[in-house]
Amino acid sequence: METGAHALHHHAPERSLRRGLLHGLSALVVLAGLVLAALPARAQVFDSNAPFAFLYDLDTETVLYAHDADAPFAPASLTKLMTAEIVFGFLDENAVSEETLFRVTEDTWRRGGAPAGTATMFAEVNSDVSVGDLLSGLVVQLANDAALTLADGFDGSEEAFARRMTARASELGLTQTRFTNATGFPEPEGATTTVRDMVRLAIHVIRT
Over residues 52-82, the pLDDT tens digits come to 888 888 889 898 888 899 999 999 999 999 9
Find out whether 134 and 102 touch, Cβ atoms under 8 Å: yes
Find out whether 206 and 29 touch, Cβ atoms under 8 Å: no
Over residues 122-152, the pLDDT tens digits come to 999 999 999 999 999 999 999 999 999 999 9
The pLDDT value recorded for residue 55 is 87
Select from 149, 207, 136, 155 the least CA-distant residue to 183: 149
Q: What is the CA radius of gyration of the chain?
A: 17
**Sequence-separated (6 or more) residues with CB below 8 Å from residue 40:** none
Inter-helix orientation angle 12-31/195-207, to 10°: 160
Residue 66, beta-bridge partner list: 54
The percent of residues above 90 in pLDDT, for the chain, comes to 64
